[in-house]
Structure 1
Amino acid sequence: MGWYVLYTKRKSEIRVANSLANANFEVYCPTVKEVRQWSDRKKKVESPLFKSYIFIRLKESNRAKVFGFPGVIRYLYWLGRPAIARDEEIDIIKDWLENDDYDAFEVNGISPGDRVKIKSGPFQDKEGVIQEIGSKRLRLILRDMGITINVRIKELSIQG
């Protein structure tokens, strides 16, 4: 039994995950702590790692039960079948977040479209494609895992 990927309404990930968890579903909504800047203050907030996506572990026969919960839109599909994340992939994400490795990137000498191989951390030896580089964030597509990760830029630990 793997983890299905649920697509939720925008900014509803945590609320949907809590509702499903309260109904005894096994749910995982990875979150990161970010500092948000308002005009008069800064505040540390918890936000979902994957915008509009959460993971849920259930049997194939129970998949339709989630549509009774507000905020659930549909399952994510990959190659015509529901996308399923393996336990190992969920464990990698959990380890990555627990060790604060998501905060360890700095961009030098790479650009969107470049293929890279991650040299260290929980995604070690995974290959990806740089999708976008912002002033504070990097978006990397890990094709073999079927995911896109967004990370804060601090220290680069990839090879081109």
Structure 2
Amino acid sequence: MENAQQEKNWYVVVTYPNLERKALLNLLKNNFIAFLPLQKVQRKWSDRKKTIEIPLFPNYLFININEKDRFEALDIYGVKRYVTFGGRPAFISETDILNIKRIVESVDLYIEHSLVKGDAVKIIGGPFKDMIGILFKKSGQARFGIRVESMNQTLSIEICHTLIRKVF
């Protein structure tokens, strides 16, 4: 039992809204090992567009802690509670945390949440890079239409949603 309490696991922590970074900083200041995956998104204001970093999982972060010290983290400003399953705190495997870190650290993690059917989008990778078209449907794969004006035709292709960006 003593050994099990000393073993550290990655737990999922719920934060108060928009306090993910503050909770992370407070956890780190108190010598906890914590991880907040961030993603880049492009936001448009009336006068400019700006790329900002936001949490990949809003209101969640990960903390590597042993069972004995688990309750101490709840005293940290910004931390609300642990995610639980069946009354027990949910923990994530080290492999899953490493995979999330690898994805976040990849060249450009950019997730577009605001795409809807009918949006004008641009392909940012692959053989159709820089083509602009209309999004026909949104799912794991997006149906993308490319309008060829000179022929008065529309071509339709399936493309991964990570390869398209909204055209503002």
- What TM-score do you get using the length of structure 1 for normalisation? 0.63
Separation (CA, whole Å) in 1 of partners of 2:90 and 2:80: 15
Separation (CA, whole Å) in 1 of partners of 2:66 and 2:57: 23
Q: CA RMSD in A?
A: 2.8
- What TM-score do you get using the length of structure 2 for normalisation? 0.60
1:91 aligns with 2:98: yes
1:23 aligns with 2:30: yes
Unaligned runs of 5+ residues in structure 1 are 106-133, 140-151
SS in 2 for 1:39: coil
Deviations 1:6-36 (A, max 9, x none): 0001111111011101111000000012111
**1:153 positional shift:** 2.5
Query: Which consecutive aligned stretches of 4+ in structure 1 deviate over 6 angstroms post-superposition?
Result: none
Contact 1:103–1:153 (Cα < 8 Å) also in 2: no
Structure 1 vs Structure 2: percent identity of aligned residues?
34
**1:38 positional shift:** 1.1
Unaligned runs of 5+ residues in structure 2 are 1-7, 113-134, 141-159
Q: Residue 32 of structure 1 is aligned with which of 22, 29, 39?
A: 39
Q: Residue 153 of structure 1 is aligned with which of 141, 161, 164?
A: 161
Give 2:64's aligned residue: 57
Q: Paired residues, what number?
A: 115
Give 2:152's aligned residue: none
Q: Residue 80 of structure 1 is aligned with which of 87, 112, 117?
A: 87
Match for 2:104: what amino acid? L
Separation (CA, whole Å) in 2 of partners of 1:58 and 1:32: 24
Separation (CA, whole Å) in 1 of partners of 2:56 and 2:65: 21
Separation (CA, whole Å) in 2 of partners of 1:138 and 1:12: 30
Match for 1:80: what amino acid? G
Match for 2:162: what amino acid? K
Separation (CA, whole Å) in 1 of partners of 2:55 and 2:110: 15
SS in 2 for 1:2: strand
Q: Residue 11 of structure 1 is aligned with which of 13, 18, 37?
A: 18
Which piece of structure 1 moves more, 92-101 or 49-58?
92-101
Contact 2:40–2:110 (Cα < 8 Å) also in 1: no
**1:154 positional shift:** 3.1
Greater radius of gyration (CA): 2
Match for 1:29: what amino acid? L
Deviations 1:70-89 (A, max 9, x none): 21110001232110001000
